[in-house]
Chain A
Amino acid sequence: MAEMTYREALRQALIEAMEEDEDIFVMGEDVNKYGGSYGVTKDLADLFGDRRVRDTPIAEAGIIGVATGAAMAGLRPVAELMTINFALVAADSIINSAAKVRSMFAGQSSAPMVIRTVGGAGAQLAATHSQNFEAMFSHIPGLYVMMPAVPYDCKGLLRSAILVNDPVLFIEHAKLYNLRGEVPEEPYTIPIGRADVKRQGKDVTLLAYSAMVHVALDVAEKLADRGVDAEVVDLRSIRPLDTETIVRSVKKTNRAVVVEESWRSFGVGAEVATRVQEEAFEWLDAPVHRVSSEEVPFAYSKVLEQAALPSADKVMEQLREMRIL
């Protein structure tokens, strides 16, 4: 197995998919000559030509509109939105067009497309460029929402996302592109809607996704030093959510904390906690708690931004309140 970055794993998935299926093409702002804002489509134009790696105007509604039309017409677009903050401009195309095709045409048409985009804060990009909208988009029936945390999942999940015959919102994390990890050279897929137990444990379940998986793993290490054995479950897929894996873990550990980078209210953590109490009420030895971002627009100031984000310290504090520490 080779070691590669989160970015490289994504790029490999695109290359493998495009080599296999000529209907797959990439489009977005600066994906061709510049290689993508985060370098994921670097050199793809050299490999597949301008026809399959298309630069677009700065017009997100148009990008998704075109991608939806192309998908309905039989192609399999992978459209890139520079960040998820700009997905708001394209929200009508995503929610009212792409996500509705299959049901409004009674299955006679569909929109097999992937919207690759970038979420997450922590890079001093200020309030309008540091947001997390997975909860908003996961609210929509007809959309799939994926959020990988490690290079291995990037490659396998993106490959699976491209194979799905409906729109998939594939949210990468800005701070993870240089993260290195083991990735098989050969092509592989990861089942959509499957969470992954990143660390086995028996005392408490930390439920996380995207960058927060690494916070949870960091916490688990700290806990291990103190004799507490934490299990870390990486949700990977927000919609559909893998209730089965979550519940199985909580039934084992009897206590759970959700670690999420997005805001607390009406969020993914709220949904996870609800499902846990619905399915595993009598196994709970404590309420399911959430460690989320402070409910403020993120500041440009590094200090203020970091203060608003979840951290290992905040998770440890929560565990202390639960008397797990």
Chain B
Amino acid sequence: MPKMGYDMEEGKIVQWIKQEGDEVQKGDVIAEIETGKVNIEVEAFDAGVLRRILIGEGQTVPVGEAIAWITDASEELPDFAEDGRGAPAGAQAEEAPAEVPEPAPAEAEEEFPPVGGVKASPLARRVAQEHGVDVTQIEGTGPGGRITRTDVEAFIEEAEKAPPKPEAPERVEVAVPEVLPDVPAERMELTQLRKTVARRMTQSKTQAPHFYETISVDMGKAMALRKEINEYTQEHEDVKVSVNDLVVKAAAQVLSKYPRMNASFAGEEVVLHQQVNVGVAVATDEGLLTLVIPNTDGKSLSQISRETRDKVMRAREGKLRADDFETDGTFTVSNLGMYGIEEFIAIINPPEAAIMAVGVVNPSPVVRDGEVTVAQVMRVTVSGDHRVVDGADVAEFLAEFRRVLQNPMALVV
């Protein structure tokens, strides 16, 4: 099960595109999987014959577990029992002929339970349990790599010396509220994406102390610039810059000057990221997901625009690829302006330090030079993680963000 994103922990096989016995070329799509975020196609890493499907459609397995075997047609199938991961019960019960392999018969499944787990002495396990240590985290130095008491004790000692690990992205239990028993209802199973959103948002809202700051940006000049750009690009390139592209570009540019806003909380320390990777929150039929534009601050408006549009389109069609999730976001922009929402507050996308919620650009009365006049006002609210940033940090960031958008030439030169 390939890891399609830094926080992907498990994946579900939606469909096998190739079947057992099919020849595959490197890069062929062999299956479609559902991650916490989207449905993605899995490509073959190598050419060969799809000898054995280990994980059936609809089954969910952790990242890193074998889902199928691709080998040369003549090659002997690996000893499933030995590596013990991903081998379905009974998979080794028969040596499938390369031409027409068939799934192992059901009877065989009971006879050969999968061998798995960690090699550890009973004493090592007991000591680990007493100290709340996960033996799978320990490297064994005993015969055959067995974990012995000494290994566990060394691990505990090491762990006591080392600083606590970053807490994200640990699993957070989502409390299940009681459902009105007397009201007729339809029940929908959570998709992987829905589950992930539920888990991560609960984690964020319960662990990160949020605070919120809102600012009004006069978008007059920016809207004029956008119009000008789009008139130009219409003739020369197939690009149409959106308000959101301007916001993303401005945010990225300002983030590179305010490293604390482009950071993560990691227990005993704050991690200041050396890349600015702005994520754009996108609503799809399946649910919310964040598409990251890697190195956003180094990209031009048209690059940002093109990349965002491409990803959003593919996301809505369920055609995202693994490389779409390779880069971790460092800051998120969520924009509901297209729905006419004037302002809102967003929940931080962990482990980021802040998120920006963007409202609609609305003609509004403002006071300028003592006169009431109409301006194109956009209201922006940043939620900050108070463990990383303080009110003044966000205030300075927002002030600079407004200055850039109100003097938008900075975005193109």
Interface centre among B121, B124, B148 (most CB of A within 10 A): B121
B126 at interface, CB cutoff 8 A: yes
Residue of B nearest to A321 (CB): B143
A286 touches which one: B125, B126, B141, B148 (CB < 8 A)? B148
B-side binding surface: helix, strand, loop or mixed?
A: helix
- B228 CB, min distance to chain A CBs, angstroms: 75
B142 touches which one: A281, A282, A283, A286 (CB < 8 A)? A286
Question: How many angstroms between the C-alpha atoms of A321 and B144 in the bound complex?
Answer: 10
- B138 CB, min distance to chain A CBs, angstroms: 14
A285 at interface, CB cutoff 8 A: yes
Which chain B residues numbered 112 to 162 have a C-beta less than 8 Å away from chain A?
Answer: 121-126, 141-143, 146, 148-149
Residues in A neighbouring B143, C-beta threshold 8 A: 286, 321-323
- B144 CB, min distance to chain A CBs, angstroms: 10
Query: Judging by beta carbons under 8 Å apart, are A284 and B121 in contact?
Result: yes
Knowing A322-B143, A323-B143, the reply to whether A254 touches B149 (Cβ < 8 A) is yes
Which chain A residues numbered 271 to 285 have a C-beta less than 8 Å away from chain B?
Answer: 281-285
Can you list, as one digit per residue, whether each of A101-138 has a CB less than 8 Å from chain B (1) or not (0)?
00000000000000000000000000000000000000
Question: How many angstroms between the C-alpha atoms of A112 and B148 in the bound complex?
Answer: 49
Residues in A neighbouring B123, C-beta threshold 8 A: 254, 282-285
Can you list, as one digit per residue, whether each of A181-192 has a CB less than 8 Å from chain B (1) or not (0)?
000000000000
Query: Judging by beta carbons under 8 Å apart, are B122 and A323 in contact?
Result: no
Query: Judging by beta carbons under 8 Å apart, are A281 and B141 in contact?
Result: no
Residue of B nearest to A284 (CB): B122
Question: How many angstroms between the C-alpha atoms of A284 and B148 in the bound complex?
Answer: 9
Residues in B neighbouring A285, C-beta threshold 8 A: 121-124, 148-149
Residues in A neighbouring B148, C-beta threshold 8 A: 285-286, 323
Question: How many angstroms between the C-alpha atoms of A285 and B150 in the bound complex?
Answer: 9
Query: Judging by beta carbons under 8 Å apart, are B141 and A282 in contact?
Result: no
How big is chain A's contact interface, by range?
A: 10 to 19
Question: How many angstroms between the C-alpha atoms of A323 and B146 in the bound complex?
Answer: 11
Question: How many angstroms between the C-alpha atoms of A286 and B126 in the bound complex?
Answer: 13
B126 touches which one: A282, A321, A322, A323 (CB < 8 A)? A282
- B91 CB, min distance to chain A CBs, angstroms: 28
- A294 CB, min distance to chain B CBs, angstroms: 22
Residue of B nearest to A283 (CB): B123
Residues in A neighbouring B149, C-beta threshold 8 A: 254, 285
Which chain B residues numbered 12 to 53 have a C-beta less than 8 Å away from chain A?
Answer: none
- B120 CB, min distance to chain A CBs, angstroms: 10
Question: How many angstroms between the C-alpha atoms of A254 and B124 in the bound complex?
Answer: 10
- B311 CB, min distance to chain A CBs, angstroms: 53
Which chain A residues numbered 244 to 290 have a C-beta less than 8 Å away from chain B?
Answer: 254, 281-286
Question: How many angstroms between the C-alpha atoms of A286 and B120 in the bound complex?
Answer: 9
Question: How many angstroms between the C-alpha atoms of A283 and B127 in the bound complex?
Answer: 9
Question: How many angstroms between the C-alpha atoms of A281 and B120 in the bound complex?
Answer: 12
Residues in A neighbouring B122, C-beta threshold 8 A: 281-285
Question: How many angstroms between the C-alpha atoms of A321 and B142 in the bound complex?
Answer: 9
Query: Judging by beta carbons under 8 Å apart, are B121 and A323 in contact?
Result: no
Query: Judging by beta carbons under 8 Å apart, are A323 and B124 in contact?
Result: no
Residue of A nearest to B148 (CB): A285
Can you list, as one digit per residue, whether each of A210-243 has a CB less than 8 Å from chain B (1) or not (0)?
0000000000000000000000000000000000
Question: How many angstroms between the C-alpha atoms of A283 and B121 in the bound complex?
Answer: 9
- B141 CB, min distance to chain A CBs, angstroms: 7
Residues in B neighbouring A283, C-beta threshold 8 A: 122-123, 126
- A26 CB, min distance to chain B CBs, angstroms: 49
- B150 CB, min distance to chain A CBs, angstroms: 8
- B122 CB, min distance to chain A CBs, angstroms: 5
- B344 CB, min distance to chain A CBs, angstroms: 56
Question: How many angstroms between the C-alpha atoms of A286 and B124 in the bound complex?
Answer: 9
- A250 CB, min distance to chain B CBs, angstroms: 10
- B90 CB, min distance to chain A CBs, angstroms: 28
Which chain A residues numbered 289 to 318 have a C-beta less than 8 Å away from chain B?
Answer: none
Residue of A nearest to B141 (CB): A323
Interface centre among B123, B141, B149 (most CB of A within 10 A): B123
Question: How many angstroms between the C-alpha atoms of A67 and B142 in the bound complex?
Answer: 54
Residues in A neighbouring B142, C-beta threshold 8 A: 286, 323
- B329 CB, min distance to chain A CBs, angstroms: 46
Residues in B neighbouring A323, C-beta threshold 8 A: 141-143, 148
Question: How many angstroms between the C-alpha atoms of A286 and B148 in the bound complex?
Answer: 8
Residues in B neighbouring A322, C-beta threshold 8 A: 143
- A189 CB, min distance to chain B CBs, angstroms: 37
Question: How many angstroms between the C-alpha atoms of A71 and B271 in the bound complex?
Answer: 87
- A18 CB, min distance to chain B CBs, angstroms: 50
Question: How many angstroms between the C-alpha atoms of A282 and B122 in the bound complex?
Answer: 5
Residue of A nearest to B120 (CB): A285
- A293 CB, min distance to chain B CBs, angstroms: 23
Question: How many angstroms between the C-alpha atoms of A285 and B140 in the bound complex?
Answer: 12
Can you list, as one digit per residue, whether each of A24-48 has a CB less than 8 Å from chain B (1) or not (0)?
0000000000000000000000000
Residues in A neighbouring B121, C-beta threshold 8 A: 284-286
Residues in B neighbouring A254, C-beta threshold 8 A: 123, 149
- A275 CB, min distance to chain B CBs, angstroms: 15
Interface centre among A282, A284, A285, A321 (most CB of B within 10 A): A285
Which chain B residues numbered 145 to 195 have a C-beta less than 8 Å away from chain A?
Answer: 146, 148-149
Which chain A residues numbered 164 to 219 have a C-beta less than 8 Å away from chain B?
Answer: none
Question: How many angstroms between the C-alpha atoms of A149 and B130 in the bound complex?
Answer: 41
- A276 CB, min distance to chain B CBs, angstroms: 11
Residues in B neighbouring A281, C-beta threshold 8 A: 122
Question: How many angstroms between the C-alpha atoms of A321 and B141 in the bound complex?
Answer: 12
- A138 CB, min distance to chain B CBs, angstroms: 27
Residue of B nearest to A320 (CB): B143
Question: How many angstroms between the C-alpha atoms of A322 and B146 in the bound complex?
Answer: 10
Question: How many angstroms between the C-alpha atoms of A285 and B151 in the bound complex?
Answer: 11
- A222 CB, min distance to chain B CBs, angstroms: 21
**Chain A residues within CB distance 8 Å of chain B:** 254, 281-286, 321-323
Enumerate 26 A-B pairs (CB-CB under 8 Å) in ascending A order.
Answer: A254-B123, A254-B149, A281-B122, A282-B123, A282-B125, A282-B126, A283-B122, A283-B123, A283-B126, A284-B121, A284-B122, A284-B123, A285-B121, A285-B122, A285-B123, A285-B124, A285-B149, A286-B142, A286-B143, A286-B146, A286-B148, A321-B143, A323-B141, A323-B142, A323-B143, A323-B148
8 more CB-based (< 8 A) A-B contacts, given A283-B123, A286-B143, A323-B141? A283-B122, A284-B123, A285-B121, A285-B122, A285-B124, A285-B148, A286-B142, A323-B143
| 5 A-B pairs with the lowest CB-CB distances in the bound complex, closest first | A285-B123, A285-B121, A282-B126, A285-B149, A282-B122
